Amino acid sequence: MKQKYITIIPCILVLFIITALGVINLKSYYEEILNSTGLVHKDFYQKLKEENERAIESDVAYQRMIDYLLQDSQGNGEQEEDLTYPLETTEEEDSTTENAKLPENLSLRANAALLLDAENNRVLYEKNGYKKLAMASTTKIMTCIVALENADLKGIVTVSSYAASMPDVQLNVRKGEEFYLGDLLYSLMLESHNDVAVAIAEYVGGSVEGFAELMNKKAKELGCEDTNFVTPNGLDADGHLTTARDLAVIASYAIKNDKFINITNASTHSFKEIKNGRGFTVTNKNRFLYMMDGAIGVKTGFTGDAGYCFVGAIKRSDRTLISVVLGCGWPPNKSLKWSDTKELMNYGVDNFEERQIFRDVDLEPVFVEDGQQKYEYLNMEGNLSLLMREDEQVKIVYQVPRSLTAPVKEGAQVGTAKYYIDEVLYAEVPIYTTTTIAKIDYPYCFKEIIKMWGAEY
């Protein structure tokens, strides 16, 4: 009899301990289960208020989310993998002022024209802006920036007979003469000398063809897929073409280089040939530098195929604009490029203001299949400040999955918010997860079984 009690007592003791632990963990266990559903937590009433506010802001999106959760809980059918939330458009009235000028009201003479926001390369206006055309000496913008990035300004350039043979406009360098590269870049940009362009190309690229490869490689890096350089000076050649848009992007890149700006904005520059001391002075021929406040460049051009061309830039406290006009008249209409450029720039100054279009929204939680937590919360951050007209409309499309499959890592990109301006895609902002959710495994299941058993007994 005594032996029997000795056997039973340990069993009773084990049961008592398990039951006590179950009672102690009961409250925390149920709170954890409820919290894992995403439906109840310590700020329940505050969250309920926020959910109601979000439902009012985007009723359709909210209803789709609720429908999905109900279908998921009932096991009714399969869902699409990706969920595109309804388009959310900022509701703005047409508040264009009477004095504001719309794009269709611009009276430009150029065959192609374009205005670019240099902060983000957004096109603010274009007329045949994506048409391939000859570019004349505006080519030298790329010639200059490639030389600056691939050679030392103190490097010594020896003039070849081929470089010396280039037609007007010329510095009239002679075969065998030597110059510092930095001096020749002033000659290139201030007075657009064609012989100097070839001398620079041969020095930096080994040959005109080799330098053209460097120019085209840089164009591709900048996203200028419709541009092809054949010559470093812009003289007419088969296949030597660009678009107003590509040329504006190239200029936008170039003006961010301080050495480039120092060269193109100099009024004059004097220098000497190294061996014989022959002296030269070049003077800036860019009249636009004196036509508008904040003008900082950039380059004129003319050939028989290209007509008069000009790439301009202005820098103000709140904006930097690039303008391009190609085929803007032929002799004797030399001044049309200036009037067209001023009209483009004034349009950009008078009709655009800086706006922040990023929208900080609370995204709906996403169901996590096989996850130790049932729902993943999402987050997105951004800064989309840009120049916009008052009548331009913003539309945002949120693309997130209907569900995720565990394991899910914190900070993983699972979607995007696409921002459209007047139906044109402007930017994509990534959407990230906010927590790490492990996959349901045997240890997790065993733990849950123990909790459930303890809760019941």
Per-residue pLDDT reduced to its tens digit, 300-332? 999 999 999 999 999 999 999 999 999 999 999
Are residues 138 and 279 located together in one domain of the fold? yes
Asked if residue 437 has pLDDT above 80, the reply is: yes
Q: Is the pLDDT of residue 78 over 50?
A: no
Does a cis peptide bond (omega within 30 degrees of 0) precede residue 10?
A: no
Cα dihedral sign, 128-130-133-139: positive
What pLDDT is recorded for position 444? 72
Dihedral sign for Cα 143, 149, 151, 152, please.
positive
96 within a domain of the structure (yes/no): no
Q: Rounded to the nearest 10 degrees, what angle do helices 208-221 and 140-150 cross at?
A: 90
- Residue 360's identity, in one-letter code, is D
| Residues 241 and 120 reside in one and the same domain | yes
Answer with the residue of higher pLDDT: 371 or 141: 141
Arithmetic mean of pLDDT, 371-384: 92
- Predicted confidence at residue 416, as pLDDT, reads 94
Percent of the chain with pLDDT over 90: 70
Query: 108: how many CB neighbours lie within 10 A of its CB?
Result: 18
Mean pLDDT value of segment 90-105 = 45
Same domain, residue pair 182 and 35? no
Place of tokens 């007329």: 127
User: Mean pLDDT of all residues in the chain?
Assistant: 84
What spatial distance separates the first Cα and last Cα of the chain, rounded to whole Å?
A: 29
Does the pLDDT of residue 69 top 50, yes or no? Answer: no
Contact 416, 425 (CB under 8 A): no
Helices 140-150 and 181-191 pack at an angle, to 10 degrees, of 160
Query: For residue 447, what pLDDT is reported?
Result: 77
Query: Is residue 367 included in any domain, yes or no?
Result: yes
Instruction: Choose among 25, 90, 32, 86: nearest CA to 61.
Output: 86
Least confident of 11-20, 62-71, 173-182, 195-204: 62-71
The encoded tokens of residue 144 equal 């200059």
- Whether 104 is in a domain gets the answer no
pLDDT score recorded for residue 445: 74
Q: Chain-centre distance of CA 306, in angstroms? A: 30
Distance of alpha carbon 252 from alpha carbon 249, whole angstroms: 5
Asked if the model's pLDDT at residue 37 lies above 50, the reply is: no
Q: Do 309 and 235 lie in a common domain?
A: yes
Q: How many domains does the chain have?
A: 2
Compute the average pLDDT of residues 126-130.
97
Which of the four pLDDT bands, split at 50, 70 and 90, describes residue 10?
Answer: low
Reported as a pLDDT band with limits 50, 70 and 90, residue 53 is: low
Q: Check residue 117 and give its pLDDT.
A: 98
Q: CA 393, CA 422: separation in Å to the nearest integer?
A: 5
**CA–CA gap between residue 389 and residue 357 (Å, rounded):** 13
Q: Would 41 be classed as within a structural domain?
A: yes
Measured distance CA(97)–CA(94) in Å, rounded: 9
Cα 333 from Cα 329, distance rounded (Å)? 5
Strongest mean pLDDT among 29-33, 141-145, 397-401: 141-145
The residues annotated with a catalytic role in the active site are 137, 140, 192
Q: Are residues 284 and 206 in the same domain?
A: yes
